[in-house]
Amino acid sequence: MTTLLTYLHANEVAPALPEGEAQSLTAELESWSGLKVYPRSIVAAQHSILFLARQGVEKYLGILSRGNGRAGFTGQTKSVAGDGSDLTLTICPANTSNATALRAILPFLVARPLGLRKSAGCGDRLGLATPGHVRAIRHSSMAPILAQQSMRENARTGRTPQQVMDEAMWGVFQEGWREGFGADADHLKTTRDIDICVAAGYTFYTIDPGEYVDNSANTASASELQPKLAALPWTALDSNPANLEQRLAEKPFDLGSFSLTISREELWRAAAKYGRAVAHTVSMYHHLAGAMGERPFELEMSVDETETVTTLAEHVYIVHELKRLGVKWVSLAPRYVGEFEKGVDYKGDLAEFERSFARHFAVAQAYGPYKLSLHSGSDKFSIYPIAAKVAGELVHLKTAGTSYLEALRAIAVLNPALFREIVAFSLERYPADRATYHVSAEVAKVPDITKWPDDKLTALLDDFHGREVLHVTFGSVLNHPPFREPFFAALRGDEETYYQMLERHFAKHFSPFGQ
């Protein structure tokens, strides 16, 4: 009781309790609330003790305070007696309005910019993975982005940017993570997308101008390039062909250990390929800056989901023009050499990747510094040591689908029959679902698990073809009514199994970047 009353005196956010005191206070809170309390969530601020708890598979915010309880929260209240003190316990649903009120009290639950710190984006398509991500982050040197979802993924999972933000926040609260986190509005294509994410409190905005990239410029003849150049939005680019040539053609650019001279043909090809993408990014940036007002934010430009590799000349063209047009960005994702398929390791020559990545990093140093971003970065274990060695702190690793795959691994353990049904369904859906992904898995090469014993089913998640098939069919699986309820029931019913798998899996992602 002494710890409780002392903690209630705190006005500013109090330091986290030592484990022994947290366990003791947990027992008291559980006896009063009748709920299972997460010890790491317990925090004191503004003369209240706040905590996250669960009953069955539902989670609740608990608030213990003096007097009649805290204003601004909605929930059920009751009086409890503590060592002669009259206290009020309020049990609140973990909803958006209570999440908003909680952020106003606990600043560490508000997403913030991460700057040029080495970072990792942890996409969560289920809204359940953040505690596992945090556990892995605790043992790493990465700064985390814990709310991250593209509009495409939101559409396929039936979630909104606000739901993604809130679910990540409850996970941060549950684990007592106070070191800060970012929120990535990923692969934004329209100003409407920006406005929705600004309203939800995102701090990191990934602009995806892939639709404006002209991949045919890579192989176009000189005569074919001319109409492409003429059609560029020169007014939006605040330039013209003559000015562009004067700025960038046939001039040596000092990139540290080497210099680069862009020929006229290389420049015209770069402009034809990426000019419209630059103009779109500039337009999106200015809209974002206006929408954010005085609030700080970070921008990433991503051209990774395009057909053709980003050459060094093209990289220079992109960032030179962005900088000239007043855009500020913290990271950029080129289309690198090799193949970055979903949920599997890098496919390509590692020596070639290292040479190319080092040269792109030289551009990032010369025109920034800014971080090089590894998109579709899940499970690219062979290139992590290279990226860490070359870029040091100036790297951003973006993951998403791998957390869903670890959920399937947990399902294989917790509900083998459901896992078998999901695999059969995914094999049927894969030919259609793969259309919007760059993958090479073949249904015919997926192992036949019908004769596998239940305790061997997780091995399918380690098979290249099985892994990709399961990865790209996530939307179909989650929107298939017979699967959805038992899928979430299994993960929520034994959440520790999922958390432990996530922690182990993400430790493999983060460890090459340093502890």
Catalytically active residues are 186, 300
- Which string of DSSP letters, residue by residue, matches 163-208? HHHHHHHHHHHHHT--S--EEEEEEE-SHHHHHHHHHTT--EEEE-
Element at 149 (helix H, strand E): strand 143-150
Question: Which ranges in 34-160 belong to alpha helices (H)?
Answer: 96-105, 130-138, 151-157
Identify whether the C-beta of residue 134 lies closer than 8 Å to the C-beta of residue 499. no
Distance CA 210, CA 187 (A): 9
Those residues with Cβ within 8 angstroms of residue 295's Cβ, 6 or more apart along the chain or in another chain: none
Beta-bridged to residue 399, according to DSSP, are 122
Distance CA 219, CA 238 (A): 27
CB-CB neighbours of 178 under 10 Å: 15
Identify whether the C-beta of residue 120 lies closer than 8 Å to the C-beta of residue 143. yes
- Which string of DSSP letters, residue by residue, matches 340-380? --TTS--BS-HHHHHHHHHHHHHHHHHH---EEEETT-TT-
CA distances from 17 to 14, 105, 512 (A): 8, 18, 31
For 366-482, where are the E strands, in sequence order? Answer: 371-374, 395-399
Those residues with Cβ within 8 angstroms of residue 402's Cβ, 6 or more apart along the chain or in another chain: 343, 378, 379, 505, 509
Distance CA 185, CA 150 (A): 6
